[in-house]
Amino acid sequence: MRKRAPIVLRLVVGGVAASLVVAAGWSVRADLAPAETALVTGEDAYLQSCAACHGRGLQGSSGPAIGPPLKGEAFVAKWASLPRDQLIAFVHERMPPTAPGSLDPATVLQISNYLLRANNLSTAAAPPPASAPVAAAPAPGTDFTAPAEEADRDATYQAVMAKRAELAGGVRPVDEAMLASPPQGDWLSWRNALSTQAYSPLEQIDAANVRGLGLAWSLSLAPGTNGIAPIVHDGVMFLNNNGTVMALDARDGQLLWRYSRPAAPHPTRVPATQARSMALYGRALYVPTVDNHVLALEATSGRVLWDHEIGKPADLLQLTAPPLVVHGKVIQPVSGCQGGDLPGGCFIVALDEKTGRELWRFYTIARPGERGGDTWNGAPLDRRFGGSVWTGGSYDPELNLVYFGVGQTYTISTLLDRGRGSKDALFTDSTVALDPDTGKLAWHYQHAPQDVWDFDWAFERTVVALEGPKGLQKVVITGGKPGVFDALDAKGGRYLWSWDPGLQNFITRIDPKTGRKIYDPALTPEFGKPKLVCPSTLGNRNWPTTAFSPQTGLLYIPLAPTCMEFSRNTDPKDPSLESYGEMRIVRTRRPDSDGNFGWLAALDVTTGKTAWVEKRRAPPASAVLATGGGLVFIGARDRTFRAVDARAGQELWRTVLPAVPVGFPLTYGVGGVQYVAIVAGGRGQPIEAFLTPMTPENLPSDSAKTLMVFALPWPGR
């Protein structure tokens, strides 16, 4: 194994300084006693940092955060013959999946020893290798920047700062007309327009010249999770990097203002990525935080206008979706929702854009006695889990409806065990169309009733206008983890058609009139009887969003074929099991796999037929971007970022990034120049850690991130 320089981390435990040295290969020395010496126990450290993925009882989980068991035969077989130093190094360098290396040395040691003791393995430290010197590290919090001295604020400085202030202060208020149809050079919301098409009409970069695309500028970002979707307005880029919101000159990345609000998620919550993006409306920038607040910042300065807390600290909820602003209401989806005073699933909430005051709330789990309340197999409200809204919504101003996707249930026993009444479990795996002014449900359509395989239908809802027999018709198109896509009438939710790429095996038939999915009864989960189900809980598609081009009439869909051996837990009454722990999963390749896990499919939305499919080795890592230049951009897990021909799927350009692009590409224009941007590095949701084994030659990203911005050469560059 190739040698590398040691990494020395300083810490203070109980007032005593110590060092954790990461030396050659996996070798680690911890100058601490095997017993816990910090103020919290190893179990406390595990519950705070690991239980959300691996279960409170080390039993593993299979819900939104997917982690293998850390107690039992499999763990012992892997770690019993290895020095504990290797386990410490593994935890330090790989965990948690969304922010590897972020745990302090004391926590790493506590967790490692806790796991070893739980499996009756030795916690004795191996002697340090002679080649691992211990060196002092810089003092924590050292800042190598200093404010400019008065004498250094010369004419050049004054001119530069004046131009930056002018650019930031010149950002125009954003109105609803802009949001519905963004100015051509802007990328004004999560996927640009409120229709969530991830399309820009910019055409300077096209099939004829894309090969000349090169790096225009880049910006190093602090380590942490990715899933970052910047937005651009009037030449200013707004970006949220794990709680630090920045306004940048979109031409060169120069900082205009920065607002930082350090915050930590609930310690036992799923360690998912930060919110996908933010929202601009009026003169404010609306920012969801990891500790479940929504902030309103002044877009020209970063000054806080208001701060609203969505839930109490004990509530295990998350804000992973960007807000949607309609009629002065900041509509924020919520996910997680499994504790405190929040029984019975998740919700969508609307806040007043001027004050942050809550105006309405829609619950995504139907309440007993209300519409859909009799679809939960007779279960009381406190046994109805899930209904997370993980991604952003869409809006159609003509119909005045907002559309959101709702996820699955987290407790399959509620639907599988004997009960009474329907087992469809509304409004899980559904599209819900709401009146943005009142929060009232206008219509719903359930894409996957009785989902007991963790197959969320919780992703983006793309609104397109199609020519139909009676003229122009608004259509909502969306697909779930199975990779199956449904088209619905946007006005009333009537089913139109489905598209199945043939990567799933549990749906045997789709009713041509209603779209109702008929499942293979042989694949119903049973205790102790693993069954091959495709896809796995990773899905054939997941959070990377599609893109639709009005120019071609094609919807571009990133896919990664997966399967699993699926069964129910053999001991469902084990008190250590959480709602996620009801499923046992072993992920596998498809039996007929050709080793190509990165699919980009083009779906003709006028016919519901496949136009083309491009296949390659590495699974998709980023969302998709479509442009008026006839191009489609997508990033993959082999660190490539590519442009393909939007009509034929032929690759036209590629580059290799510093890390995996686990984010949302965008394009914008400033001063006559079109730019294409993507954030590389960091991690998305914990799912990213489980895509890597599909192509083990492609190593996962670390937590460092870089904003990469590309453009064609221009005069003077």
Given the DSSP bridges, would you call strands 485-489 and 495-499 parallel, antiparallel or unpaired? antiparallel
Phi and psi at residue 521, in whole multiples of 5°?
A: -65, -25
Q: What is the CATH number of domain 7-118?
A: 1.10.760.10
**CA–CA distance, 565 with 563 (Å, rounded to integer):** 7
Q: Which of 11-20, 228-237, 346-355, 471-480 is least confident?
A: 11-20
How many CA atoms does the CB half-sphere of 708 hold within 13 Å? Answer: 25
Closest-CA residue to 364 (of 408, 411, 308, 315) = 408
Residue the block writes with tokens 């489980």: 690
Query: Does the pLDDT at position 91 exceed 60?
Result: yes
Q: How far is CA 250 from CA 269, 415, 634, 674, in A?
A: 35, 50, 21, 11
**CA–CA distance, 655 with 377 (Å, rounded to integer):** 52
Q: State the average pLDDT over residues 706-716.
A: 86
pLDDT, position 471: 84
Return the number of other C-beta atoms located less than 10 Å from residue 520's C-beta.
Answer: 13
pLDDT, position 66: 63
pLDDT tens figures, 539-561: 999 999 999 999 999 999 999 99
Instruction: Check if the beta carbon of residue 653 is closer than 8 Å to that of residue 643.
Output: yes
Closest-CA residue to 225 (of 334, 97, 91, 90) = 97
Closest-CA residue to 124 (of 95, 89, 83, 91) = 83
Residue 75 — very low, low, confident or very high, per pLDDT cuts 50/70/90? confident
What average pLDDT is seen over the chain?
Answer: 84
Q: How far is CA 426 from CA 135, 383, 524, 528, in A?
A: 58, 13, 19, 28
Q: State the average pLDDT over residues 527-548.
A: 94
Select the more confidently predicted residue: 609 or 32: 609
Give the domain ranges of the chain: 7-118, 176-711
Q: State the average pLDDT over residues 274-299.
A: 94
Cβ burial of 628 (10 Å; 0-12, 13-18, 19+) is buried
Cβ burial of 505 (10 Å; 0-12, 13-18, 19+) is middle
- Marked catalytic residue, from 454, 456, 638, 702: 454
Q: Which of 4-13, 316-325, 461-470, 700-709 is least confident?
A: 4-13
**CA–CA distance, 55 with 65 (Å, rounded to integer):** 10
Residue 298 — very low, low, confident or very high, per pLDDT cuts 50/70/90? very high
Q: What tokens appear for 1 in the block?
A: 């194994």
Q: Which of 59-73, 579-593, 628-642 is least confident?
A: 59-73
Q: Specify the DSSP element, H or E, that contains 26.
A: none
Residue 460: DSSP 8-state: -
**CA–CA distance, 369 with 175 (Å, rounded to integer):** 39
Q: What tokens appear for 97 in the block?
A: 């999946």
Closest-CA residue to 667 (of 677, 657, 659) = 677
**CA–CA distance, 347 with 345 (Å, rounded to integer):** 7
571 is catalytic: no
Fold of 176-711: Methanol Dehydrogenase; Chain A (2.140.10)
Residue 35 — very low, low, confident or very high, per pLDDT cuts 50/70/90? very low
184-205: buried (b, 16+ CB within 10 Å) or exposed (e) per residue?
Answer: ebbbbbbbbbbbbbbbbbbebb
Q: What tokens appear for 550 in the block?
A: 């009005």
Q: Which of 15-29, 260-274, 470-484 is least confident?
A: 15-29
Distance from chain centroid for Cα 338: 19
Q: Which of 65-69, 349-353, 515-519, 527-531 is least confident?
A: 65-69
pLDDT tens figures, 482-511: 999 999 999 999 999 999 999 999 999 999
pLDDT, position 468: 75
Q: Which of 203-217, 566-580, 683-697 is least confident?
A: 566-580
Residue the block writes with tokens 């149809």: 181
17-46: buried (b, 16+ CB within 10 Å) or exposed (e) per residue?
Answer: ebbbbbbeebbbbbebebebebeeebbbbb
In the chain, the amino acid numbered 559 is L
pLDDT, position 516: 97
**CA–CA distance, 278 with 262 (Å, rounded to integer):** 17
pLDDT tens figures, 669-689: 999 999 999 999 986 555 555
CB-based contacts of 553: which residues, under 8 Å, 6+ apart? 604, 605, 606
**CA–CA distance, 480 with 486 (Å, rounded to integer):** 9
pLDDT tens figures, 422-467: 999 999 999 999 999 999 999 999 999 999 999 999 999 999 999 8
Instruction: Check if the beta carbon of residue 700 is closer than 8 Å to that of residue 681.
Output: no
Query: Does the pLDDT at position 36 exceed 70?
Result: no
CB-based contacts of 502: which residues, under 8 Å, 6+ apart? none
Q: State the average pLDDT over residues 511-527.
A: 96
Handedness of CA 178, 182, 183, 185 (dihedral sign): positive
Q: What tokens appear for 119 in the block?
A: 């499996």
Q: What tokens appear for 227 in the block?
A: 């899933």
Residue 717 — very low, low, confident or very high, per pLDDT cuts 50/70/90? low
What is the side-by-side order of every strand in the sheet holding 329-333?
A: 324-326, 329-333, 347-352, 358-363
Instruction: Check if the beta carbon of residue 495 is closer than 8 Å to that of residue 430.
Output: no
Say what the pTM is.
0.84
Q: How far is CA 338 from CA 315, 348, 423, 579, in A?
A: 7, 15, 21, 9
Q: What tokens appear for 666 in the block?
A: 């965008």
**CA–CA distance, 189 with 392 (Å, rounded to integer):** 10
Q: State the average pLDDT over residues 61-80.
A: 73
Instruction: Check if the beta carbon of residue 381 is closer than 8 Å to that of residue 370.
Output: no
Query: Does the pLDDT at position 42 exceed 50?
Result: yes
**CA–CA distance, 424 with 446 (Å, rounded to integer):** 8
Residue 138 — very low, low, confident or very high, per pLDDT cuts 50/70/90? very low
Residue the block writes with tokens 């200093």: 146
Residue 147 — very low, low, confident or very high, per pLDDT cuts 50/70/90? low
Query: Does the pLDDT at position 294 exceed 60?
Result: yes
pLDDT, position 438: 98
Cβ burial of 384 (10 Å; 0-12, 13-18, 19+) is buried
Query: Does the pLDDT at position 144 exceed 90?
Result: no
